[in-house]
Chains A and B, each alone.
Chain A
């Protein structure tokens, strides 16, 4: 098993090209990274919306919001 194009560090360095593993599989790695980024962005937007909805509901109960502002005034 060899994940690299490098078989020895003792050859001619001027002939050495890419040193990273799995050369030739860059496009699949790129697609996975794009999916991760898109997935993260969608998740984050939903997470933020849910968080604000919950907080808004919480603050709308009784006098939570006015107590919060009063607490800040005195702290």
Chain B
């Protein structure tokens, strides 16, 4: 950092991710509001605590091993190579703390590592971390009102600090094996976050079962109205806002995309180091949101829940290719995805009696899966990477990628963990507590406290009357 241009580039990049991270925090605020709004009044506090406490648990585990995992397993390992060295991401490494980028203290890192990572490690780590929180939050909503917090937090750590990170290493890094071999392209994480977490949520719901009273004897679903529709809608608006920051965080803000030649050309790039612009992704973010909202309103005949969820699902469906699509394509893809997920959600609910309280499997899982597959057709033949030796985008590469995301990394690990927790009897809360409400103890304590105060006030009033 001995000249102004280098300093400006490095410190701008650091600041860029820092701003994105703060914006992305709104995703979690939105998820908390949304879930609390959807749950019945008797479960509000439990719902809030369940979602809020995933923040520290995923943060600490992502620091312990998640960040290292992202760099270490990009080759599989065993598919395109072995484990990669990533000393700067180990939790005890000096570059995981305050560092000026000068002479390393430890011999495990080079001077080049120190210079490259000292100012970017924390903000880059945080950007990935908030994706991890999002992973936890997506599966949180599905099991609302009956999952034990301790069980949920194990699922949250599994999805947030392990499976989605492995997915990102494989399919959302410049040199991941899925990019190399399959030409996998998923610029804004339709599959890498959303399909995985939708698959995870479906696995958990199979073991968890529906809330008491959710299905009639003929198999049709009863509606559990949200206790506060405003919280639900404001929550979804905040998720949109944070999602916008997420889009920016998925980019590398300044990169020389012509470094192989004697020339230089600086641009924003995707995580694959392929060129895009903030302008392009802003067009596409908003046009796919618009498509999703319109399709959600149309297909649900104006139902507010499905309209706003449709906006989110529209973005998710288009996200895999939103670095390259034309805005009109993003619009149509977003709309198409929402019509599909609405139909699939209701068919699965009727056929298998899956009680997905917030539509997480549909909005994230089905939309993410469909989005990855659509990108395979629309972006057919695009180079997946600047590296000419890597595969190009194809429909079959994307289909295999979607299956890996939804079933292999999403569904399977959570299905196995769910089976274990169910066998141990620590997955679902006792039926009596589900009926009484998960806030039963808190409500009882509040009532006792209020009655005690009333008694004191009565005594005080009587003594005043006596004195008068």
* Residues of chain A whose beta carbon lies under 8 Å from any beta carbon of chain B: 5, 13-20, 23-24, 26-27, 29-30, 33-34, 37, 41, 44-45, 48-49, 51-52, 55-56, 59-60, 65, 68-69, 72
Contacts and interface: CB of A to CB of B under 8 A. Distances in A.
Contact of A5 (B105, B149, B429, B433): B105
B14 interface: no
Contacts of A65: 432, 435-436
Given A59-B432, A65-B432, 10 more contacts: A13-B100, A15-B102, A18-B98, A18-B105, A26-B97, A33-B64, A49-B426, A55-B436, A55-B440, A65-B436
Contacts of A59: 432-433, 436, 440
B97 A20 contact: yes
Interface of B: 1-2, 42, 57, 60-61, 64, 91-94, 97-105, 114, 148-150, 153, 426, 429-430, 432-433, 435-437, 440-441
A21 B96 CA distance: 13
Q: Taking chain A's interface residues, is the majority helix, strand, or loop, or is none over half, making it mixed?
A: helix
A51 B149 CA distance: 12
A26 B93 contact: yes
A24 B105 contact: yes
B1 A14 contact: yes
Contacts of A14: 1-2, 102
B94 A45 contact: no
A34 B61 CA distance: 9
Contacts of B437: 68, 72
Contacts, number: 95
B92 A27 contact: yes
B8 to A, nearest CB: 17
B440 A68 contact: yes
B100 A68 contact: no
Contact of A13 (B93, B98, B102, B153): B102
A52 B436 CA distance: 12
Contacts of A13: 100, 102
Q: Which 6 A-B pairs have the closest CB atoms?
A: A16-B100, A26-B92, A19-B98, A18-B94, A16-B102, A45-B150
A13 B115 CA distance: 12
Contacts of B149: 44, 48
29 contacts: A5-B105, A13-B100, A17-B99, A17-B100, A17-B101, A17-B102, A18-B98, A19-B97, A19-B98, A20-B98, A24-B105, A26-B91, A26-B93, A29-B92, A30-B64, A33-B60, A34-B64, A37-B60, A49-B426, A52-B148, A52-B433, A55-B432, A55-B436, A55-B440, A59-B433, A60-B432, A65-B436, A69-B435, A72-B437
Contacts of B60: 33, 37
Contacts of B61: 37
A55 B433 contact: yes
A52 B433 CA distance: 8
Nearest to A60: B432
Contacts of B105: 5, 17-18, 23-24
Contacts of B103: 15-17
A23 B99 CA distance: 11
